[in-house]
């Protein structure tokens, strides 16, 4: 045991054991109440930084004739820029906000590159002092959930920076011990559920593990209660495959994965596993991947290089677990199958009736599932999402991929840049 009490470690024939070592609706806007988001569409410059789509801020030299560039008279400079509209005058700064809407239809090259080309052209014009992108800044707000101060994991991965970077959440399936639907921080988040242990639609969490995992992924955020989450716009599918002792047959787990895919999951989280040999879940995971679903799995708490399944299946993204100082826990399993690492030591999240702090790779996996939810909420496909999570991870171990951190500790802020 790492810290405090440990969930069941018994291995039963044909059973898969949970990996944790436990220690004892939709997000609201971070804008002031009543304030709405700007109506401008968000685009990205070639560096991947968010900007007002198709817009540039043109600053003119003193006493320059602005109409030379964007006046309404024919032949006065607008032809080379396509369809142009002056969005806003900034007279005190001798500047204009100009929209180049014609660039949105560019088929010859990406829109960002087209806008960059216009920017360079304007900078060479004798009446222009300088040209800026109309960058999108975000308020450096902190979620008002009182438990956020205890959530180093959400902060370490830099999830708050992503809250304004995706419009729609996706469905994330939690294949686990169930979810407490009526938890104040999860109310309205579970859109469907099924109990594969008892073959009914009751997904009551008699253990607390699935509820804890769910809070990391999609707890209601900035609601003045409890904790924040990694993907507050995501919704949840409760696929109950583990009993109150956190034991579940691989057949039930495979069925839970299949049901999740058939019910619209874009991400499936598997915070469970054992060192037993391969079984039927691999087929279900491969089916999920073939249908555009990202599968995240706990890398293991055994502290050895013996492969842990289902994390070690090629179709799953295996997640090791780290602490506040970005070091892997001595209990974190390692090996060539580890893809990335994420916080898993002393994680604070939801449990039936309240909140608690626990440790284990069961909780690094949902941090990664939440990031996958954010990226897919930006419109990325499953393969692109997996590659993005890996490519933007903070390289903490030996240079490049290594057995303890994989590609590194996940970084939501960097991954969610366009």
Beta bridge partners of 173: 237, 268
Residues 6+ apart with CB under 8 A from 319: 296, 297, 298, 299, 311, 338, 339, 340, 341, 342, 344, 361, 364, 365, 367, 368, 406
Give the number of C-alpha atoms closer than 13 A to the C-alpha of residue 16, restricted to the C-beta side: 31
pLDDT-wise least confident of 45-49, 106-110, 149-153: 106-110
pLDDT-wise least confident of 13-17, 60-64, 233-237, 253-257: 13-17
**How would CATH label the architecture of 42-135?**
2-Layer Sandwich (3.30)
Instruction: Please give the pLDDT value at position 94.
Output: 85
* In contact, 312 and 337? CB cutoff 8 Å: yes
Of 62 and 366, the structure prediction assigns the larger pLDDT to 366
The rounded distance, in Å, linking the Cα atoms of 407 and 390 is 6
Instruction: Please give the pLDDT value at position 40.
Output: 64
Residue 136 has pLDDT above 90, yes or no: no
Of 138 and 93, the structure prediction assigns the larger pLDDT to 93
Residue ranges in 73-231 assigned as alpha helix (H):
111-123, 152-156, 209-218
**Residue range(s) occupied by CATH 3.40.50.200 in the chain:** 15-30+141-415
The active-site residue out of 176, 205, 243, 252 is 176
Q: Right CATH number for 15-30+141-415 from 3.20.20.20, 3.40.50.2000, 1.10.150.530, 3.40.50.200? A: 3.40.50.200
pLDDT category at 15 given cuts 50, 70, 90 is very low
From residue 310, alpha-carbon distances to 93, 234, 269, 276 in Å are 59, 24, 11, 10
* Active site annotation includes 183: no
**Average pLDDT, whole number, for the chain?**
84
Instruction: Please give the pLDDT value at position 194.
Output: 97
Instruction: Please give the pLDDT value at position 85.
Output: 83
Burial class (CB in 10 A: 0-12, 13-18, 19+), 275: middle
The active-site residue out of 145, 183, 185, 209 is 209
**Residue range(s) occupied by CATH 3.30.70 in the chain:** 42-135
* Active site annotation includes 214: no
Residue ranges in 248-303 assigned as alpha helix (H):
250-262, 281-290
The active-site residue out of 274, 362, 364, 382 is 362
Beta carbons within 10 angstroms of residue 411's beta carbon: 20
Mean pLDDT of 48-69: 81
Query: pLDDT digit string (tens) for 192-211?
Result: 999 998 999 999 999 999 99
Of 4 and 126, the structure prediction assigns the larger pLDDT to 126
The torsion angle over the Cα atoms of residues 168, 291, 296 and 187, rounded to 10 degrees, is 40
* Active site annotation includes 176: yes
The rounded distance, in Å, linking the Cα atoms of 94 and 60 is 6
Instruction: Please give the pLDDT value at position 37.
Output: 37
Instruction: Please give the pLDDT value at position 80.
Output: 56
* In contact, 172 and 234? CB cutoff 8 Å: yes
pLDDT-wise least confident of 56-65, 235-244, 315-324: 56-65
How much is the pTM? Answer: 0.74
Residue 39 has pLDDT above 60, yes or no: no
pLDDT category at 31 given cuts 50, 70, 90 is very low
Query: pLDDT digit string (tens) for 393-402?
Result: 999 988 989 9
């Amino acid at each position: 045991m790492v810290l405090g009490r440990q969930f069941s470690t018994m291995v039963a024939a044909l059973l898969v054991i949970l990996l944790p070592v436990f220690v004892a609706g939709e997000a609201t806007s971070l804008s002031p109440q009543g304030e709405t988001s700007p109506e401008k569409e968000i685009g990205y410059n070639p560096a991947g930084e968010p900007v007002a789509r198709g817009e540039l801020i043109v600053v003119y030299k003193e006493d320059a004739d602005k109409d030379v560039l964007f006046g309404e008279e024919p032949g006065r400079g607008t032809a080379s820029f396509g369809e142009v509209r002056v969005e806003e005058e900034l007279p005190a700064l001798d500047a204009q906000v100009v929209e180049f809407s014609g660039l949105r239809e560019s088929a010859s090259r990406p829109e960002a590159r087209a806008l960059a080309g216009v920017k360079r052209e304007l900078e060479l014009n004798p009446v222009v002092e300088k040209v800026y992108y109309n960058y999108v800044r975000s308020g450096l707000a902190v979620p008002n959930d009182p438990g956020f101060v205890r959530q180093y994991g959400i902060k370490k991965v830099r999830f708050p920076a992503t809250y304004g970077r995706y419009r729609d959440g996706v469905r994330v399936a939690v294949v686990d011990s169930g979810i407490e639907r009526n938890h104040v921080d999860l109310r309205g988040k579970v859109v469907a559920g099924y109990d594969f242990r008892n073959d009914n639609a009751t997904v009551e969490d008699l253990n607390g593990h699935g509820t804890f995992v769910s809070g990391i992924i999609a707890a209601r955020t900035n609601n003045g209660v409890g904790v924040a989450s990694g993907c507050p716009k995501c919704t949840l599918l409760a696929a109950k495959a583990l009993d109150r002792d956190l034991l579940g047959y691989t057949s039930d787990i495979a069925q839970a994965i299949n049901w999740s895919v058939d019910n619209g999951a874009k991400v499936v989280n598997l915070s469970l596993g054992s060192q037993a040999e391969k079984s039927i879940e691999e087929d279900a995971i491969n089916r999920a991947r073939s249908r555009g679903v990202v599968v995240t799995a706990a890398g293991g708490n055994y502290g050895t290089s013996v492969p842990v399944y289902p994390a070690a299946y090629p179709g799953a993204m295996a997640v090791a677990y780290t602490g506040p100082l970005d070091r892997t826990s001595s209990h974190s399993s390692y090996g060539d199958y580890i893809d990335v690492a994420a916080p898993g030591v002393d994680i604070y999240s939801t449990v039936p009736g309240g909140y608690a702090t626990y440790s284990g790779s069961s909780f690094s996996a949902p941090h990664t599932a939440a990031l996958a939810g954010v990226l897919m909420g930006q419109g990325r496909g499953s393969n692109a999402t997996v590659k993005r999570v890996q490519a933007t991870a903070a390289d903490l171990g030996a240079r490049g991929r290594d057995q303890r951190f994989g590609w590194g500790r996940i970084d939501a802020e960097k991954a969610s840049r366009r």
